Amino acid sequence: MTDELINRAAEDIIKAKKVVALTGAGMSVESGIAPFRGKGGIWEKYDPVEYAYIDVLRTDPGKTWILLSEMQKEILKAKPNPSHLSLAELERLGFLSSIITQNVDGLHHEAGNKNVIEFHGNHRQAYCMECGKQIKSEEISLETLPPRCDCGGVLRPDVVFFGEAIPPEALTKSNQETRSCDVMLVIGTSAEVQPAASLPDIAKSSGATIIEINIEETGFTGYTSDYFIKGKAGEILPKIVNKVKDESTNLSA
Ligand code: APR
């Protein structure tokens, strides 16, 4: 069954004029970064209302930085896994127009993808909330929390907190890509957080085929998704890309 769906996905990708991928935390689990929801998820340990809303960062930055420092340590030591490398290969082969990622770990860039829309920002970049000075997260000492700029202001990663707006350019580009694709790969996301979770429905209403890859069913499965391939992204995606390579080589031969 899974092999049939992998073959079907490869055919849909080859036939498509424009393929877009929407990725979530499930892409990076095999790189050692904890997901937010489900078993071992970050929100099991830290209540997002207490730690991850913009008003907490403003009123009690030391508390938010307890969560941020844990995330930062995982992100800065993580490397792309076969799921990231597969999407980079798909772009190189000319079968992937863009990735809209909810992840802030920067691993799609690390894997080599050029057209990545960071819907929730990037934790590898940071800036001072007082003077705006930009700084790489790897240069931030986590000895004392919250970390501060030379000016005394509190530093924060360049990510979207709950209660903050999606960066306007990311939102515009994501909507353009979503409305103009004819295949959307929806990989490793629980479909829980808006406005990212609306993108597959928008793509579908624009006529796209929605292919979902996840280790378990989500709110998209059986509704938004045209078909669901159950499995780890790091195992399913390499098989799909290998099939695309085989089939497209035959086509051009
Ligand atoms: N392969 C594929 N899918 C996986 C894997 C894997 N190896 N491991 C976990 N998953 C799936 C889970 O089944 C789940 O559906 O990845 C999804 C992870 O869900 P979340 O942790 O909710 O991550 P995400 O959907 O990206 O969250 C969206 O919520 O908290 C905010 O800003 C945060 O960007 C995040 C947003």
Residues 67-126 pLDDT 10s: 999 999 999 999 999 999 999 999 999 999 999 999 999 999 999 999 999 999 999 999
Q: Please work out whether the CB of residue 98 comes within 6 Å of at least one atom of ligand 1.
A: no
The alpha carbon of 12 and the centre of ligand 1 are apart by a number of angstroms equal to 24
The H or E element spanning position 19 is strand 19-23
Q: Which mutation among 190, 211, 216, 235 tests ligand 1's pocket best, with the greatest number of atoms within 8 A of CB? A: 190
Instruction: Determine phi and psi for 8, rounding to 5 degrees.
Output: -65, -40
Nearest to 230 by CA among 210, 209, 214: 214
Its CATH architecture, for the domain 34-77+125-159, is 2-Layer Sandwich (3.30)
- Whose tokens are 């707006």? That residue is 165
Whether 28 is in the pocket of ligand 1, judged by its Cβ within 6 Å, is no
CA distances from 51 to 13, 29, 41 (A): 40, 21, 14
Whole-model pTM: value is 0.97
Q: Is the CB of 23 under 6 A from ligand 1?
A: no
Contact 19, 95 (CB under 8 A): yes
120 is catalytic: yes
Q: Candidates 3.20.20.70, 3.30.2130.10, 3.30.70.20, 3.40.50.1220; correct CATH number of 1-33+80-120+166-253?
A: 3.40.50.1220
Q: Residue 253 has what pLDDT?
A: 58
